[in-house]
Structure 1
Amino acid sequence: MMPTAEAFALPDIRAEIERAIQRNIKGLEFLTSAAPAVGQTPKDEIHRRGTLSLYHYRPLVDELYRVPVLMVMATTNRAYIFDLAPGQSMVEYLLLKGYDVYVMDWNAPRPDEKRLRIEDYVLDFIPDSIRRVQEDSGEEDVTVAGYCMGGVLSTLYAALHPGGPMKNLALFTTPVDFSRMKLFHAWSDRRYFDVDRLIDTVGNVPPEMLFASFDMLRPAGRGAGVVQLWDNMDNDEFVKSYRMFDRWGAEMLPLAGEYFRQTVKELMWDNKLHKGELELGGRPVRLQNIKVPVLHALAQHDHIVPYEAGQPLIAGIGSADKEEVVLKGGHVSLAAGPNAVRRLWPKLDDWLGVRST
């Protein structure tokens, strides 16, 4: 007697039922377990002032490159995206390659810090951090590496300090032409968005508003992510990575009110950086004043900083030694996670190593 079609299908049905049971068990563990540990690479806080914390990571090898690296995070997020977990940490990777790594991390601005402007970050926090890196490392030269709006702040610093101690400038997903950030323009349309009323009312911009604005860039993204999580619930490595990225995304920081007002009006609405009309502290910002070696890494699938928004940077700066690289990945996965170790991090090491002696 020939077996029926139902008989052939039984093993597949049993396997799917077993997988569904395992996913439910893993789902319960997911809901009841503690948040994943992040930022585990040993470090020391060498300075703290208000919203700023400056960390020095303890070396992992005996021989170090001469030039230390100062990483600058965007003020909206915590810097542990650079140090998610062992094996998924840009900081750990650089330390193992022999770099002396410092990181500017941000804390939630206090109510009295609502008056912080872009000038405070570019003309105070970054120069002060560089001085402290120089003192701590004993080296005059410092490489600065900035991510997203941290890259914008680093670029502004470089343009206003052409004779300063910056040795190299590495940038990741850094916008210059804000008119190309279409979805951000849509929700901050000056015809409907009263930024003055918002800041005058709330002071510092609450993280819930920022979180919602990023969600609007991909309205279905969160739901799709949950579906993907459920489909991979029996994959421990996938779940671990998902939870770390989800935690980082959910732990957004408030933004200093005046910084936000200035960013919306001068960068987003008037596009002054791209037009060469931006002034900070009464000084014009000229990208062509940047003469140090520059690397700018952009992501192919970046929905936050599209390629068109970051592309003008390399063309606009005055460095003879400058390079743009476009790598596979998204805004976050470019710099962090399991694929970054094969793409951005080796590229950064290759570029930086010969310029750090």
Structure 2
Amino acid sequence: MATPKAPSKQSVLNLWDFLVKGGIADLTRTPSEVIDTGRTRELHRYDKAKGVRSKGIPVLLVPPLGSQAKCFDLRQGLSLAQAFVDRGRPTYLVDYGPLRGEDRLVGIEHFVNDVLPPAIRKVSEDAGGRDVHLVGWCMGGLLSLGTTAVHRDLPIRSVAMVASPFDLSKQPLLRPVQVASKVTRGKVVGSALKAAGSVPAPVVSIGFKATALPTYLKKPRTLWNKREDREFLGQVQAVDHIMNNMLAYPGRATLQVYQRLALRNELATGRIQGPNHLIDLATVTVPVMNVAGRTDVLVPPAAAHHVGELLTGSPDVRLPLAPGGHLGVLTGTKAPETTWLHLHEFLEAHDRRRRSA
């Protein structure tokens, strides 16, 4: 009978650092400064990289609700924000921060009308009056595209999305919820959301983890098998930090997503009537891209790429497919050579092309 191989010194050191000393990954944020604030809005401008010439028009990173803005700045060595900075692109981030008090009750319209427009105008002003590229992950992409459709006077050059959903009939995980809602007419969940006021941060974290339940169940075994791989362990730590520190989801916005997107699938038509504006994606006249994750169970590729059927007025619609799940497609270890290259190529292609009138 073969004698089990003893753990190497490197694996013991890796596991000690990962489990006992507080981690392996360097979670230091890419340096930035706050240049504007408002209700649920903190606008950051990332510091320029030393010795790198500025080139290209600015990009504004737009996170989803419920997630830390750190999703664009996962860890040192794997940060989309730093990748833009290193290329010399003026880079900005809008951060909603933890929602408190009355802010827990805001709806989607608050972000489309009162958060993104002033942030976009400030970025343009700070960058010398230039147009702005928007890059959003998941709901951040929907907010970016919705803002573009409603506020056509904004200096938006293009919208690039990653894993943003547009046809939730192609999301198998929602079918039990949709069936149950038909029986209850959506009253049970809707009443619970109204009573709660918002979805607490721990519940948001559990929800995201539930979409990758097999991965979490196999995690102890995976960590042991990968104990020699310090880079892998650092990535796991960084992802855990995001998943364990999700933010509360505003109650009205949650109810809107549940009723209008999950149950009635209104976004699949390309037209949603808001409290003050009609969002009609056919009116979008800027270039748009939506990168889908090949193994994304939360937003399957078909759910993401449906947007291509809705953007009849866009001069350039790109629908790439890249490796990874819902977060991995944005900031997994393969993202720099796949998703990020798609983003760089798309933005550079439209740096010089003027917006349509």
2:42 to 33, 53, 60: 53
**1:111–1:204 CA contact under 8 A, matched in 2:** no
Shift of 1:181: 2.0
Structure 2 CA distance, aligned partners of 1:291 and 1:248?
34
**2:200–2:248 CA contact under 8 A, matched in 1:** yes
**1:273–1:285 CA contact under 8 A, matched in 2:** no
Shift of 1:276: 3.9
Structure 1 CA distance, aligned partners of 2:269 and 2:30?
41
1:323 to 282, 297, 318: 318
What's the CA shift string for 1:171-223, capped at 9, x where partnerless? 11111112222214434642466233222322121122222223333332212
Structure 2 CA distance, aligned partners of 1:25 and 1:324?
43
Shift of 1:330: 1.8
What's the CA shift string for 1:93-145, capped at 9, x where partnerless? 11111210001123121121122111001111010111111222222311111
Match of 2:355 in 1: none
Match of 1:133 in 2: 123
Q: Which stretch has the larger CA shift, 72-81 or 43-52?
A: 43-52
Gaps of at least 5 residues in structure 2 are 353-357
2:292 to 284, 298, 301: 298
Shift of 1:66: 4.3
Q: Which stretch has the larger CA shift, 150-159 or 103-112?
A: 103-112
2:58 to 52, 65, 68: 68
**1:89–1:337 CA contact under 8 A, matched in 2:** no
> What secondary structure does 1:74 align onto?
coil
Shift of 1:277: 4.3
Shift of 1:157: 0.9
In the TM superposition, 1:110-129 aligns within 5 A as 110-129=100-119
Letter in 1 for 2:194: D
Letter in 1 for 2:168: F
Shift of 1:39: 4.6
Shift of 1:53: 2.0
Match of 2:212 in 1: 218
Structure 2 CA distance, aligned partners of 1:139 and 1:63?
19
Percent of aligned positions with the same letter in both sequences?
26
Relative to structure 1, the CA distance from residue 163 to residue 185 in structure 2 (aligned partners, 3 Å threshold; closer, same or farther) is: farther
1:151 to 141, 147, 157: 141
Letter in 1 for 2:226: N
Structure 1 CA distance, aligned partners of 2:276 and 2:305?
27
TM-score by length of 2: 0.90
Letter in 2 for 1:52: R
Structure 1 CA distance, aligned partners of 2:322 and 2:18?
32
Relative to structure 1, the CA distance from residue 142 to residue 22 in structure 2 (aligned partners, 3 Å threshold; closer, same or farther) is: closer
Letter in 2 for 1:226: P
Relative to structure 1, the CA distance from residue 265 to residue 124 in structure 2 (aligned partners, 3 Å threshold; closer, same or farther) is: same
Q: Which stretch has the larger CA shift, 208-217 or 147-156?
A: 208-217
Match of 1:3 in 2: none
Gaps of at least 5 residues in structure 1 are 1-5
1:174 paired with 2:169, answer no
Letter in 2 for 1:265: Q
Match of 2:22 in 1: 34
Letter in 1 for 2:27: V
Match of 2:273 in 1: 279
Shift of 1:241: 1.2
Structure 2 CA distance, aligned partners of 1:149 and 1:115?
17
1:204 paired with 2:198, answer yes
Shift of 1:227: 1.7
**1:185–1:268 CA contact under 8 A, matched in 2:** no
Letter in 1 for 2:43: L
What's the CA shift string for 1:250-281, capped at 9, x where partnerless? 11110111111111111111111212441123
Structure 1 CA distance, aligned partners of 2:129 and 2:219?
45
Shift of 1:235: 2.2
Relative to structure 1, the CA distance from residue 187 to residue 31 in structure 2 (aligned partners, 3 Å threshold; closer, same or farther) is: farther
1:260 to 254, 261, 264: 254
Structure 2 CA distance, aligned partners of 1:201 and 1:302?
31
**2:209–2:243 CA contact under 8 A, matched in 1:** no
Shift of 1:346: 1.8
Relative to structure 1, the CA distance from residue 109 to residue 341 in structure 2 (aligned partners, 3 Å threshold; closer, same or farther) is: same
Shift of 1:226: 2.6
Relative to structure 1, the CA distance from residue 239 to residue 165 in structure 2 (aligned partners, 3 Å threshold; closer, same or farther) is: same
> What secondary structure does 2:118 align onto?
helix
TM-score by length of 1: 0.90
Relative to structure 1, the CA distance from residue 311 to residue 209 in structure 2 (aligned partners, 3 Å threshold; closer, same or farther) is: same
Match of 2:173 in 1: 183
Letter in 1 for 2:84: L
1:246 to 230, 237, 240: 240
Match of 1:355 in 2: 350
Relative to structure 1, the CA distance from residue 286 to residue 23 in structure 2 (aligned partners, 3 Å threshold; closer, same or farther) is: same
